[in-house]
């Protein structure tokens, strides 16, 4: 999604092969994820020879946290650090309170990371999405 945000321009669509190549991931894996994100309304797509994926203005407001929740659920933000199903405030695991703080920080960071940030700063080649 970050790569697609960096590519988004009016009328520009990015295909599976390009996404996979540029982020060094298997096409089949990217196709499945992008299809899932499309079904959930997080990315736009068109089919055909000039088709591909793109983000509209509303999609650019999506946070990385929204993407994580759409693909993996909210376990990263709510789950037990040890993976226990019974962990809670009343029955905490040995790392519950420390992990809760870390979980909240991760959520805040990913919630503040909007795709719009990557779109607006795409000319600042200060970060990368794959090793070259």
- Mean pLDDT within 60-68: 94
Phi, psi of 54 (to 5 degrees): -155, 165
Which tokens belong to 43? 């990315």
| pTM of the predicted protein model | 0.81
pLDDT of residue 125: 55
C-alpha to C-alpha distance for 106 and 94, rounded to whole angstroms: 20
What is the domain partition of the chain in residue ranges? Answer: 2-120
Q: Count of CB atoms within 10 A of residue 91's CB? A: 9
Question: Residue 100 pLDDT > 90, yes or no?
Answer: yes
pLDDT digits (tens, 9 = 90+) for 21-33: 988 899 999 999 9
SS3 of 27-71: HHHHHHHHHHHHHCCCCEEECCCCCEEECCCCHHHCEHHHHHHHH
Domain 2-120, CATH: 1.10.10.10
Residue 74 vs residue 9, higher pLDDT = 74
Q: Count of CB atoms within 10 A of residue 84's CB? A: 14
């Amino acid at each position: 999604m970050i790569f697609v945000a960096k590519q988004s321009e009016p009328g520009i669509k990015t295909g599976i092969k390009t996404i996979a190549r540029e982020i060094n991931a298997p096409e089949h894996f990217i196709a499945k994820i992008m299809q899932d994100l499309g079904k959930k309304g997080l990315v736009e797509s068109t089919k055909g020879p000039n088709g591909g994926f793109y983000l509209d203005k509303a999609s650019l407001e999506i946070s990385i946290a929204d993407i994580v929740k759409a693909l993996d659920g909210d376990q990263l933000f709510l789950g037990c650090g040890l993976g226990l199903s019974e962990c809670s405030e009343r029955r905490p695991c040995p790392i519950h309170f420390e992990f809760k703080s870390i979980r909240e920080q991760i959520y805040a960071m990913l919630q503040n990371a909007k795709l719009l940030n990557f779109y607006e700063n795409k000319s600042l080649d200060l970060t990368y999405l794959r090793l070259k």
